[in-house]
Amino acid sequence: MLTALPQMQGLPEVTRRISVHILEPAFLNKGAWDHYPAGDDFHECLEMFFLKAGLFQIVPLHGSTENDGAAFLEACKKADIDYVVRSVLRTSFRGQTPKVVIRLLDVRAGGGVCWGGFAEIPELSDKSIECVLGDLFSDVHWSIISAELDRVSARKDEELSTIGKSLRGLRSALNSSSRSFSHSLSLIGHEAGDAYTAIAMTLTALMRLHSDFSVPASEIARWGIEGARKAMGFQSEYPKMALLWVMLNMADSDVGLLPVSHQGRLKAVLPAGDAHLPQRERSLYALLSALLKGDISQSAAMARQLFEAMQGSPMRAFYEMFFTMTVVVGSEKDQALEHANKMISLYPRHPMSAVAFLLAAVRAELGSVEVEHAAKHVRRLLPDLSVTEVIARCVYLPKSGLDIVRKSLLEADFH
């Protein structure tokens, strides 16, 4: 899927879909609950997630089961299956709460587990299970993409399909450097002709807003807004893209819309609110709502909840980068410093992580030596950065949050 088939070069692009086999789900401790889902329903739900993603084809396998060991793996190889999905529904070792466990087996790497995750299910209803599987599928989905990108890492950019180029560009953005962003833009481009290019534009914009100070914030936001708008058209059934579209509109410093206008947009794209959304989308919806209501403390709490819900997700970094200032400005001083310390440790050369640590140091009253050291680190990364430019990257924060940003930077003699 990530490379164009060589025999088709010069003709309209044709790519091979990633082949997935989904094992029948196993149900353990059935007697612990009054109700449990039918295996076919559970299997079908997973299958639909894969098919809707557009990258995958589901391959049935007859006459062999996982219990056959090496014979099963050989049968998968003969059927050109790339990955096998194994799922188990069981009680949690901490109590009787139902829990779904999913493991992803890489057939081409000898059948080893290349990803694993679990989530508790609050109630055994179809909608609840679908929401939980939605979050887990997102991790499976992006873990497969990451593995495929590793597999084609030696290929030149021009050998990749359009989708492959866009996804390589998205991964490159994680390096948060001017060189990596230049590479990302050359691969992704400015026009999205497919869902994955549109998604790559959207997520890369989230990263660039707090990392790429060579371009005005509004220009980055508008590029991401266009990507999110296209992604909503390509994958209208996924509410996350609608939420990202609202996020990027809130981050456009040139528009200057009042919160009530953004609230109207949020209601327009998600008229049912957060009803039936997966946990991560519910957390993101609550976070955006709190920001638009001007409640910076609740916004920070919802951001921390979102990060917790995305534990183990390959996509967590994009959201952490974007909402780090929300956490640092809206949390208690000790919590803000703890989060800023973590971010500067994980991403020492990320500009806004450095700014966030400076803010947290001022708020926690660490002392002039520590604050001066933090300010010098920001200056090493971006010698000409001004308070005005920082504010332009944080316009989605309520006025109380922006006031804290401005006041803290001025206290640190940052002009």
Residue 341 corresponds to which amino acid? N
Q: CATH number for the domain including 132? A: 3.40.50.10070
Q: Name the CA dihedral angle for 405, 411, 413, 414, rounded to a multiple of 10 degrees.
A: 0
Domain end residue (candidates: 110, 136, 151): 151
Q: Are 211 and 321 in contact (CB under 8 A)?
A: yes
pLDDT at 39: 64
Does residue 272 belong to any structural domain of this protein?
A: no
Does residue 180 belong to any structural domain of this protein?
A: no
Q: What are phi and psi of 295, to 5 degrees?
A: -95, 90
How many CB atoms neighbour CB 7 within 10 A?
A: 8
Distance between CA 159 and CA 201 in Å, rounded?
20
Does residue 9 belong to any structural domain of this protein?
A: no
Does residue 234 belong to any structural domain of this protein?
A: no
pLDDT at 33: 57
Does residue 141 belong to any structural domain of this protein?
A: yes
Domain span including residue 87: 17-151
Does residue 393 belong to any structural domain of this protein?
A: yes
Does residue 89 belong to any structural domain of this protein?
A: yes
Domain end residue (candidates: 151, 179, 207): 151
Mean pLDDT in consecutive groups of 10 residues from the start of the chain, 415 residues: 50 68 82 61 86 90 74 92 91 71 93 89 73 88 91 91 92 86 92 91 94 92 95 84 94 78 84 79 94 96 94 89 96 96 92 95 92 94 93 94 95 81
Does residue 259 belong to any structural domain of this protein?
A: no
pLDDT at 27: 77
Nearest to 408 by CA among 339, 309, 336: 336
Domain end residue (candidates: 151, 179, 210): 151
For residue 85, list its beta bridge partners. Answer: 22, 104
Number of domains the chain is built from: 2
